[in-house]
Amino acid sequence: MSATLHYIYDPYCGWCYAAAPLLSAAQAVNGLQIRLHGGGMMAGARRTQVSPALRDYVIPHDLRIAQLTGQVFGENYFEGLLRDSSAVFDSAMPITAILTAPALGVDALNMLKAIQHAHYAEGQKVSELGTLSAIAAQLGAEQAAFHTSWHSLSGSATEQHIQDSRRLLTQLGGGGFPTLALEQDGQLQRLDISSWLGKAEAFQQWLKSHSAAPSAASGAFCSIDGC
């Protein structure tokens, strides 16, 4: 096929972590390009300090995601990061790292997946530049080049990217993250992925055949301001 899969995501969106196996399956579809659009759920004024209230709010969602998809949430996440009141969730930091990836020879989606794994499975602080630099290095990026690229994009460039992503979300009529849309011949078709969560192979087969997409309303997403 010759098409583009647009993925509006946020690094701190648990349901985007739930969708990660679907995106991995999409990477294996010949002729399909994947474009990432970071939505900034916890960027700017929405950046969030870890607190008992946040922990109590996200854990039921995380447990549901784990049960539905088999995605791993580690002990260091539940009992470490989510109990660390010094930790801050700032989407702009990892989004900037993902934006730097292509110039460093790293696939942007692979960068996102590595950040998600570090956050949810390992309980790392992915709003810290040192953590992001280490993740980039694991994927083959040279750390000095990563820092230079990250600083060149941090601030106004990342803010513009988030604004553009939110405009696309509005254009598609999406309610939050994750929102996916398939573009072919200049036409965008928003996809409801709820029926595919936990069924990556089925999603891959649909992309290859591109039959009619499910149209049922999805409750499996984070709003633009939080999960």
Average pLDDT over residues 38-56: 97
| Cβ count near 210 (within 10 Å) | 13
What is the extent of the structural domain holding 211? 3-223
- The whole-number pLDDT of residue 222 equals 82
Q: How many domains does the chain have?
A: 1
User: For 179-211, how does the pLDDT look when each residue is reduced to its tens digit (9 = 90+)?
Assistant: 999 999 989 999 999 999 999 999 999 999 875
- The whole-number pLDDT of residue 1 equals 62
- The whole-number pLDDT of residue 217 equals 47
Looking at the predicted structure, is the pLDDT value of residue 5 above 90?
yes
Looking at the predicted structure, is the pLDDT value of residue 215 above 50?
no
Looking at the predicted structure, is the pLDDT value of residue 49 above 90?
yes
Looking at the predicted structure, is the pLDDT value of residue 226 above 90?
no
The model scores a pTM over 0.85: yes
- Mean pLDDT of the residues in the chain: 94
Interior angle at CA 83, CA 178 and CA 135, nearest 5: 55
Average pLDDT over residues 75-87: 98
**CATH number of the domain residue 210 falls in:** 3.40.30.10
Residue/partner pairs of 209-217 with CB below 8 Å, 24 or more apart: 210/1, 210/3, 210/182, 210/184, 213/182, 213/189, 216/192, 217/192
User: For 125-155, how does the pLDDT look when each residue is reduced to its tens digit (9 = 90+)?
Assistant: 999 999 999 999 999 999 999 999 999 999 9
- The whole-number pLDDT of residue 219 equals 53
